[in-house]
Chains A and B, each alone.
Chain A
């Protein structure tokens, strides 16, 4: 490839961001008028074309592995702070771009079919356009995040995906418990993410303060030159970890992800399984230079990841909502990824990120397919009854309402099985290779982490087995399951493609060939490549099979019938109750933080603002003194002084006239006497003066 063509192709890179933006703007303007099909096709094509452009960038990088920078605009340039909007095309970001746009395109296509039924189920057709606008906005923001050349641009994308997550979780904002639960779930996601964002912001402030720049290039150069103290690097790494726990749902900030299942299933698949939550892992990999020089903080990262992996896996065992099982599974797998990047196995983490995107998206979309089938079956069954009774308490997500769907929804069953086995880590599916690489690296570097992750892997296989057996095997437990239809091709074809990915993605980093490792080395520097550890692989496979076998013993041999309690409840007793109630983490937060915060807010609002400021200060002090002053002016001054003066004037005039009136007697003689007296006076004047 000549440098000319390379230059032309790489200059197309900004389209990756602007194509989805264009798609969403056109949909805002014309979507509703031009109909559902137009909206869906336009949105999917925008993302599809973005995928094509990112593949072009991959081709460019194949020839010339050095990182490319494609400037878009100058954003901030104040004093020493220089933050341009430049796209960084290196092997790491291009890999993420391809994965995100590829999976997004498939999910967009799936969503065309899913949302078509969903808006009708919720009886509000106008919302279709809004969904695709937000979906495209998400892809645009994610692309900004992935292609960022400095920490602030990454933060812009970070916030953007957080916003879209909020918008899409609360998509059905007036449904849910009390008509507001979905909106509350969206709010919870946004607020919890904000706490993580605080960590990211603090890391940025420290970075700028000590490194003088936010550009990734400048940071790695400064780190290589050794111009920053290790204490500062450790602190920055810990703050970045806070950001990761928020976005990638680790302990202690994972509580938003299960609630986020309130959104439509494509949202859960794209944002909360494949892409947004992986932004945290991507961010750590991007800042590998920082974490490499802060082993203490990296260790904390690894332990948090491992602990989360195990914690979430235990919760997943006790869940009955099909999406909640997958949500906790996501948190658990993210724990694997975070643990991997924590111990320095960046490639293993990214590898698992990519394979996980495929099979988790597959699982979520298939779960959506199952849920929609149950909803259809429920409508069918309800309308079939002569009394037309609609049971609104019926939860289509509850696995206890399913069963025997293997025969009713065969395609969905097959792809779901592929996804579940990939997640459980059975060879030769993709999940085996990626999870195994993490376990192998961990066994070398940190045995404690390895132990936690291995136990989590056992739980993973067990709960996926439990889910498959509960949903697809046995007899149908409800009328709805009995009448569940298979979904249309627009939904099942993306599932099949994702399933193919789940099967074959392992080829990305086969042991011995290590294509992905070599690809990533161009960005991350020389990486230690561990040899394929047969022991670890064997142990994990055997444990996974044992776990699935145990699931079959409990759920497969005597399939659950309607109304029968979960067999684990008898075996584990209170432990199962704990699992089912997610170990009461939400309740703990409510007690520790939310109650206090609400109390404080109520205190400020009611006591200080209303009672002190309004009632006392305003009404008593200000109003009363004003009224006194004006009262004085009106009564005391105006009435008594001014009015009195003028009244006195009038009274004088009256008195004078009263006196003068006495002259007018009416008697002629009096007038004659006056004349006489006057004559006398005049005469005396003439005679004597």
Chain B
């Protein structure tokens, strides 16, 4: 299967953009985390693409690191959201604005 590199890069780009838009626009915290995952996976996609294109395994190793980092980050983020939900009874991130000036 010779999927041209460009298609995979464009796909990663689109995924990344959707992820960014999700972070910027959506109010539900879990959806924001999901969007962040999306962005991270888009970055993974880019690495894999170039690993496949240059027949180099370094890219795939980095993906391992990224997946681990993403998992750790989501664990912490969700723990934060659980704590916030305990006080605010809501996961709307627009509610978390007490540090305003």
Taking Cβ atoms with an 8 Å cutoff, the residues of A that contact B are 661-669, 672-673, 676
Contact = CB atoms under 8 A, between A and B. Distances in A.
The 10 closest A-B pairs by CB, nearest first: A664-B101, A666-B100, A666-B97, A661-B101, A668-B93, A666-B99, A667-B97, A672-B23, A665-B100, A673-B24
Contact of A664 (B24, B94, B96, B100): B100
Interface string B21-62: 001110100000000000000000000000000000000000
A666 B99 CA distance: 5
B96 A668 contact: yes
A667 B97 CA distance: 5
Contact of A666 (B23, B27, B98): B98
Contacts of A662: 101
26 contacts: A661-B101, A662-B101, A663-B101, A664-B99, A664-B100, A664-B101, A665-B100, A665-B101, A666-B96, A666-B97, A666-B98, A667-B93, A667-B94, A667-B97, A667-B100, A668-B93, A668-B94, A668-B96, A669-B23, A669-B25, A669-B93, A672-B23, A672-B24, A673-B24, A676-B20, A676-B24
A616 to B, nearest CB: 66
A679 to B, nearest CB: 10
Nearest to B100: A666
Contact of A669 (B24, B98, B99): B24
B92 to A, nearest CB: 11
Contacts, number: 33
Nearest to B29: A668
Contacts of B23: 669, 672
Contacts of B99: 664, 666
Contacts of B97: 665-667
B96 to A, nearest CB: 6
A668 B97 CA distance: 8
Given A669-B27, A672-B24, A673-B24, 9 more contacts: A661-B101, A664-B101, A665-B100, A666-B96, A666-B97, A666-B100, A667-B93, A672-B23, A676-B24
Contacts of B20: 676
Interface in B84-98: 93-94, 96-98
A507 B50 CA distance: 167
Contacts of A661: 101
Nearest to A673: B24
Contacts of B93: 667-669
Contacts of A666: 96-101
Nearest to B36: A672
A669 B29 CA distance: 11
A678 to B, nearest CB: 13
A279 to B, nearest CB: 107
Contacts of B27: 669
Interface string B1-29: 00000000000000000001001110100
B39 to A, nearest CB: 11
